[in-house]
Amino acid sequence: MSHFEVAEIVSALRAVRNEWRDSQGRPRDPVSRELPSREAMSNVVEQLKGALFPMRLGPAELRHESEDFFVGYTLHAALQALLVQVELELAHDARHAPAPGAESEDLKARALALTREFAAELPRMRRILDVDVLAAFQGDPAARSVDEVLLCYPGVVALIHHRIAHKLYSQGLVLLARMVSEQAHAQTGIDLHPGAQIDEGFFMDHGTGIVVGETAVIGKRVRLYQAVTLGAKRFPTDEHGNLQKGLPRHPLVEDDVVIYAGATILGRVTIGRGATIGGNVWITSDVPPGASVTQASLQSGRPVT
């Protein structure tokens, strides 16, 4: 005999689910899973990380002589699992915004094409990540090796996830992309929206609390310290009061910019090439190339130098 009235709770939860499904125009009894799985995507990302960096992020027992075999086996498993999740997202999108003539076979073919496109991007992704890891090593005097950076630095973990997520996002697989980016967010405290465009050589020192918005664009060799925000200043609405999605609303950060801890930069402003942004400043207007912005210069009203 149950002490918790489980049967009644199960029945009540079913009623709540049905109310929600009715309100959303969804079937009460879906015949199969409707959404991608966070757990499945987490496994895919771990496999991809091992395939990208087999001797450092792969299994402890891996040896050089079996490296290619491991990469091939792991990639096959990861891409097969990813294909299933891509099909689920495409099917979900089709149910909520059906395209004329879109059949299940068309979705399967599109899912396969997208997954193959993603797979073909992996060598380029590895090359960019090598530049990112080297930038972290060169930019941190406490780092003793690139291996230490790759194995230990939360900023590198978040950036590997971002490189994977951004490719998925650019393919229109927004839900999968968000799953990947939010895994890193939960693990590292670094919030990189998968839509953000981040060029090579990006380094987040310490990293905790960094926020980079969806439409931010970051150039080459940019360095951010902890608690930096590249955010939106305002959120325009349409005539019905609904937020307008996808508008450019986050900063443009050009090459070779350094932004120190706690700086907040809001709106579609440009931080010019080679500029230095001091700690704990609040910026809502353009900063010219090579400029230095500090709390003292902002508080005194002196021109930015």
pLDDT at 100: 53
What average pLDDT does the segment 27-52 reach?
91
Of all residues in the chain, the percent with pLDDT exceeding 90 is 82
**Could you tell me the CATH number of the domain that includes residue 272?**
2.160.10.10
Counted domains in the chain? 2
Q: Is 119 in the same domain as 148?
A: yes
The residue from 161, 189, 217 where one domain ends is 189
Last residue of a domain, one of 124, 159, 189: 189
In a domain, 21, yes or no: no
Q: Is the same domain home to 168 and 235? A: no
Q: Looking at the structure, do residues 36 and 168 belong to the same domain, yes or no? A: yes
- Residue 298 included in any domain: yes
Asked if the structure places residue 1 within a domain, the reply is: no
Would 16 be classed as within a structural domain? no
Give the confidence band of 27 by pLDDT, cuts at 50, 70, 90: confident
The yes-or-no verdict on residue 2 having pLDDT over 80 is: no
Least confident window among 36-45, 103-112, 196-205, 296-305: 296-305
- 116 plus 180 within the same structural domain: yes
Give the tens place of pLDDT for each residue, 14-24: 999 999 989 98
Distance from C-alpha of 257 to C-alpha of 95, rounded to nearest angstrom: 44
Residue 199: pLDDT above 90? yes
Domain closes at, from 170, 189, 208: 189
Please say if the pLDDT value at position 211 is more than 90.
yes
Asked if residue 304 belongs to a domain, the reply is yes
Number of H helices, E strands in the chain: 10, 14
- What are the tens digits of pLDDT across the range 169-194? 999 999 999 999 999 999 999 999 99
pLDDT digits (tens, 9 = 90+) for 58-113: 999 999 999 999 999 999 999 999 999 999 999 999 887 766 555 677 999 999 99
The residue segments making up the domain with residue 301 are 196-305
Tens of pLDDT, residue by residue over 108-149, are 999 999 999 999 999 999 999 999 999 999 999 999 999 999
Same domain, 162 and 212: no
Residues 205 and 248 in one domain: yes
Q: Residues 6 or more apart from 200 whose CB is under 8 A from it? A: 128, 131, 132, 135, 220, 221
One domain for residues 54 and 172: yes
Q: Which amino acid is at 57?
A: L
Do 180 and 208 fall into the same domain? no
The backbone torsions φ and ψ at residue 217, rounded to the nearest 5 degrees and listed phi first, read: -130, 125
User: What pLDDT is stored for residue 242 in this prediction?
Assistant: 82
**Pair 183, 214 in one domain:** no
pLDDT at position 305 is 58
Same domain, 149 and 227: no
pLDDT at res. 195: 98
pTM: 0.91
pLDDT at position 37, please?
96
Mean pLDDT (the chain, rounded): 93
Residue 24 located in a structural domain: no
Q: 67 with 205, same domain?
A: no
| Phi, psi (deg, nearest 5) at residue 259 | -125, 115
Beta bridge partners of 259: 224, 277
CATH number of the structural domain spanning residue 182: 1.10.3130.10
Residue 148 has which token pair?
Answer: 């230490």
Residue at 233 is within a domain: yes
Say what the pLDDT of residue 1 is: 54
Q: How far apart are CA 95 and CA 106, in angstroms?
A: 14
Cβ atoms of residues 161 and 186 within 8 Å: no
Strand order in the sheet with 264-266: 191-192, 211-212, 229-231, 264-266, 282-283
Q: Does one domain contain both 301 and 177?
A: no
pLDDT digits (tens, 9 = 90+) for 232-271: 998 777 887 787 787 899 999 999 999 999 999 999 999 9
